Every structure is written in structure tokens, then in C-alpha cells.
């Protein structure tokens, strides 16, 4: 019986691996929304991110994956860079920036808005966009 190799090439490793790095509940304030009043002052938005990183598990080195600090900065820059009316557009812009700015196979971005003014009580609204590298 042959031994399998692990993350360092040792026992347990079976070939190419795609790792999903997940960040949940990243809070970034932004002046976004359909109503003009929503765009007058920043309100909290919550970002949930799923980032597919090719073969990052095999090296155990930061250079082989994404640095969470850089990911957070990217989301903050997109949010601060323009005002969005729709969560869908904001999620798409963040996903595009992540795929363009990092060595990712794909990025899935959910933007949640907890401060929603509706006639019925809603915990939050959200839009989710996934972008894959061509």
C-alpha cells in the first residue's frame, strides 16, 4: 500500500487542490441605497466572501493564498470608490475587483444590508454574485 502525501507533499496528498477561503460578516460602512436619504450618510453593510484559491493548501505559505488584510482593503476601496444604488451592483463590483486583483479561480460575494426599511420586519436583504476567472 502506498502512503498518501499531505499539505507539505507528505502522506495524504492526492493532487491538485482548490481551497475556499471564507470571510463572513465583514462590516464596511457605505453611503449606498436607492433612496437619496440612504446615500447621505454611511450605514453598515455586511460582506460574506468565498474565495477559491488554487492549490494553496499544499504549501502552507501566505504567498500561496490571499492575505485577509488585502481582501478587506479591496472591499473597503470598492465601497468607498462610488455610491451604489443596488446591492447587486455592489456585489458584482467587489467580485470583479477580487478576481482582477488576486490570484483567484473564483470569488463569490454576498452583500447584506441589515438596516432595511420595509413595511414588514426583515433581518436583512442581500445579493450574491459569483465571478470566475475566464
CATH, residue 76:
3.30.1130.10
CA distance 117 to 14: 50
4 in any annotated domain = no
The pLDDT of 14-41, averaged and rounded, is 88
What percentage of the chain has pLDDT greater than the value 70?
86
Return the C-alpha cell found at 83: 455610491
Tell me the per-residue pLDDT of 57-89, one tens digit each, with 9 for 90 and over. 667 777 778 999 999 999 999 999 999 999 999
73 in any annotated domain = yes
63 in any annotated domain = yes
pLDDT score recorded for residue 119: 80
Among 50, 60, 51, smallest CA distance to 13 is for 60
pLDDT over 90 at 122, yes or no: no
pLDDT score recorded for residue 113: 95
What is the tally of structural domains in the chain?
Answer: 1
Active site residues: 113
Return the C-alpha cell found at 40: 447621505
7 in any annotated domain = no
The pLDDT of 99-126, averaged and rounded, is 91
Quote the domain boundaries for residue 40.
18-132
Return the C-alpha cell found at 26: 465583514
Amino acid at each position: 500500500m502506498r502512503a498518501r502525501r499531505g499539505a507539505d507533499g507528505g502522506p495524504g496528498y492526492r493532487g491538485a487542490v482548490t481551497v475556499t477561503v471564507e470571510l463572513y460578516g465583514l462590516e464596511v460602512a457605505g453611503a449606498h441605497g436607492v433612496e437619496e436619504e440612504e446615500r447621505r450618510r454611511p450605514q453598515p453593510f455586511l460582506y460574506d466572501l468565498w474565495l477559491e484559491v488554487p492549490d494553496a493548501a499544499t504549501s502552507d505559505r501566505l504567498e500561496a493564498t490571499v492575505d485577509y488584510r488585502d481582501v478587506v482593503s479591496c472591499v473597503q476601496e470598492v465601497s468607498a470608490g462610488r455610491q451604489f444604488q443596488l446591492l447587486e451592483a455592489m456585489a458584482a463590483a467587489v467580485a470583479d475587483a477580487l478576481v482582477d486583483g488576486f490570484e483567484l479561480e473564483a470569488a463569490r460575494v454576498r452583500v447584506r444590508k441589515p438596516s432595511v426599511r420595509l413595511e414588514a420586519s426583515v433581518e436583512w436583504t442581500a445579493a450574491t454574485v459569483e465571478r470566475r476567472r475566464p
